[in-house]
């Protein structure tokens, strides 16, 4: 039986350890032993272990990681690439930053192992440029790993070559979307591309490319060291392992917490984050970053932090960004910020997204000023409905889903706002 209550420190193993970012410290804690072990295995065995572990992508979509790697055509003689998505642009998300802060070597080691699994000899870490310090830490870790022979040619005399470089973005949420990211890495505007073909078949420069989130890749060394079964035992049937949850808003202890998937939401909220800040009252929670539909306090009571329960409640685990909304936060304001954000970040290629986010933003701007109508609420629902599933990437859906949820679940408050403004 998987255990969703016992805490295991995988990604946060080095929490509280001084100098945890250094190679010396990482090695002293067992670092790079997983790479040694992996290099002694046939590459297909690495993929098989990761598949069996149940690891799913931590960037938002939750796609099974080993399965994704197995889509890389092994008969192709094109170069293969591994790209780490460290763009962390989803509002409310700050967990990948924490990995950079604690253990950049865990990511580097995870990338070397993952690259070996499907035969990539070149990798990139793509980080948003605003992470100035974090980028410096990653660069230092890469340099240290090269000097120690964990990167470069003939790693640890295994015959495996893996070069890793760092690439910094320039301010665009859409570059977190994997195909937008690859366009950016090619030195172009960060516009997503239609899938299929998926990047695993045709990605960076048309070559087979795996894009994985930072947290996904950082979990790989532990899985190799402890085995698939050990990882599977943590969490739930469909959501194996631990996940980083970043909680923010007016709570006692905002921050990043590593928990087994399936952990009860209320237990996390009350015991780890310490509950609401003094004088604040819980009004709702966005459980997976700005794109995730909001949940009401009633829905939160029995919610568990895993892919399946949050999906069953009409929301999603997403990036693990838990945004607590308190009673002092007007929902009109929240909705306006959300739609403004997506409108601002739409790359403009697809009409439903470019126009739809714009219409939602226009409606909300008038609404906040008290110039709205009650019929705006069903109108926003309908516009959102038509924005879903019709575009190249999921940004349009990411704007539509939270809009529908707020409009539906907080309609009384939104209506009262209009009346108060009128009266």
Partner 1 sequence: MASSSTFDVALQAKIKHHLERFETRRSAILPILNDIHQQYGFVSPAQVQALEDEFDLPRLQVQEVISFYSRYRQQQPSRYHVQFCDNIVCRMFASQQLIAKLKAKAAGCAAGTLSVEPVPCLGVCDGAPAMLVNDERHLRVTCDNLDGIIDDYLQRASDA
The footprint of ligand FMN (CB under 6 A) covers 57-61, 63, 85, 87-90, 174, 176-178, 211-213, 216, 393-395, 398
Residue 363, both tokens: 């409606």
Sequence-distant (6+) residues with CB within 8 A of 275 are 251, 252, 269
Residue 373, both tokens: 């109508």
Site string for partner 1, 261-300 (x = CB under 8 A): -------------------------x---x----------
Q: In what order do the strands lie in the sheet with 209-213?
A: 163-168, 122-127, 81-86, 209-213
Q: How far is the CB of 333 from partner 1 (least distance, A)?
A: 7
Site size toward partner 1, by CB under 8 A: 54
Q: d(Cα 278, Cα 242) in Å, to the nearest integer?
A: 30
Residue 153 binds partner 1, judged by CB under 8 A? no
213 binds, among partner 1, ligand FMN, none (CB under 5 to 8 A by kind): ligand FMN
Q: Please say which residue, 170 or 194, places its beta carbon nearer to partner 1.
A: 170
Q: d(Cα 261, Cα 244) in Å, to the nearest integer?
A: 9
Q: Residue 54: enclosing H or E segment and its boundaries?
A: none
Q: Residue 127: enclosing H or E segment and its boundaries?
A: strand 122-127
Q: Please say which residue, 56 or 336, places its beta carbon nearer to ligand FMN.
A: 56
Q: Please say which residue, 63 or 71, places its beta carbon nearer to ligand FMN.
A: 63
Look at residue 271 and give its three-state secondary structure: helix
Residue 214, both tokens: 């930072």
Phi, psi of 99 (to 5 degrees): -65, -40
Phi, psi of 32 (to 5 degrees): 70, 5
Check the CA dihedral 12-16-22-27 and report its sign. negative
Q: Please say which residue, 80 or 233, places its beta carbon nearer to partner 1.
A: 80
Site string for partner 1, 31-70 (x = CB under 8 A): ----------------------------------------
Residue 248 binds partner 1, judged by CB under 8 A? yes
Task: Give alpha helix (H) positions in 40-177.
Answer: 43-53, 65-70, 95-102, 104-118, 132-147
Q: How far is the CB of 244 from partner 1 (least distance, A)?
A: 12
Which member of 45, 147, 153, 188 binds partner 1 (CB under 8 A)? 188
Is 400 in contact with 381 (CB distance < 8 Å)? no
Interface positions, 329-388, toward partner 1 (CB under 8 A): 329, 333-334, 337-338, 341, 344-345
Q: Please say which residue, 143 or 302, places its beta carbon nearer to partner 1.
A: 143
Q: How far is the CB of 2 from partner 1 (least distance, A)?
A: 29
Q: Please say which residue, 387 or 398, places its beta carbon nearer to ligand FMN.
A: 398
- Pairing label, strands 304-305, 263-264: antiparallel
Residue 106, both tokens: 């865990």
Q: How far is the CB of 143 from ligand FMN (least distance, A)?
A: 24
394 binds, among ligand FMN, partner 1, none (CB under 5 to 8 A by kind): ligand FMN
Q: Please say which residue, 4 or 214, places its beta carbon nearer to partner 1.
A: 214
Is 118 in contact with 220 (CB distance < 8 Å)? no
Contact set with partner 1 (CB under 8 A): 79, 88-94, 97, 128-133, 165, 167-173, 184-190, 204-205, 246-250, 254-256, 286, 290, 321, 323, 325-326, 329, 333-334, 337-338, 341, 344-345
């Amino acid at each position: 039986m998987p255990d969703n209550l016992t805490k295991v420190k995988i990604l946060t193993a080095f929490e509280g350890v001084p100098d945890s970012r250094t190679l010396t410290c990482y090695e002293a804690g067992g670092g790079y032993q997983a790479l040694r072990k992996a290099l002694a295995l046939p590459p297909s065995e690495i993929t098989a272990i990761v598949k069996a572990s149940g690891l799913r992508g931590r960037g938002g979509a939750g796609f099974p990681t080993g399965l994704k790697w197995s889509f890389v055509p092994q008969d192709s003689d094109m170069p293969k690439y591994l790209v780490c998505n460290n763009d962390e642009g989803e509002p409310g998300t700050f967990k990948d930053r924490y990995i950079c802060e604690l253990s950049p070597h865990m990511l580097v080691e995870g990338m070397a192992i993952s690259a070996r699994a499907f035969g990539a000899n070149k990798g990139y870490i793509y980080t948003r440029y605003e992470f100035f310090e974090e980028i410096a830490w990653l660069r230092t870790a890469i340099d240290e790993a090269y000097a120690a022979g964990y990167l470069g040619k003939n790693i640890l005399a295994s015959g495996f070559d893996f070069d890793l470089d760092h690439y910094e973005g320039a301010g665009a949420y859409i570059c977190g979307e994997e195909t937008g990211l690859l366009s950016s890495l090619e030195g172009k505007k960060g516009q997503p591309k239609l899938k299929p073909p998926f990047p695993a078949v045709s990605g960076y420069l048309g070559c087979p490319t795996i894009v994985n989130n930072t947290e996904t890749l950082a979990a790989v060394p532990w899985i190799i060291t402890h085995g698939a079964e050990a990882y599977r035992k943590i969490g739930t049937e469909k959501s194996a392992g631990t996940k980083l949850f970043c909680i923010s808003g007016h709570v006692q202890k905002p921050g990043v917490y590593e928990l087994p998937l399936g952990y009860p939401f209320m237990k996390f909220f009350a015991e780890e984050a310490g509950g609401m800040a003094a004088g604040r009252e819980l009004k709702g929670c966005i459980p997976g970053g700005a794109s995730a539909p909001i949940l009401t306090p009633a829905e939160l009571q029995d919610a568990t932090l895993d892919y399946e329960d949050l999906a069953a409640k009409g929301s999603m685990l997403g990036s693990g960004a838990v945004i607590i909304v308190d009673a002092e936060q007007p929902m009109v304001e929240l909705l306006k910020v959300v739609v403004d954000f997506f409108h601002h970040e739409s790359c403009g290629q697809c009409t439903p997204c470019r126009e739809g986010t714009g219409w939602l933003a226009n409606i909300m701007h008038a609404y906040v000023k008290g110039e709205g109508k009650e019929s705006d609420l069903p109108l926003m629902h309908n516009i959102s409905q038509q924005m879903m599933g019709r575009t190249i990437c999921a940004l349009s859906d990411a704007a539509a889903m939270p809009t529908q949820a707020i409009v539906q679940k907080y309609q009384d408050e939104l209506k009262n706002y209009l009346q108060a403004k009128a009266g």
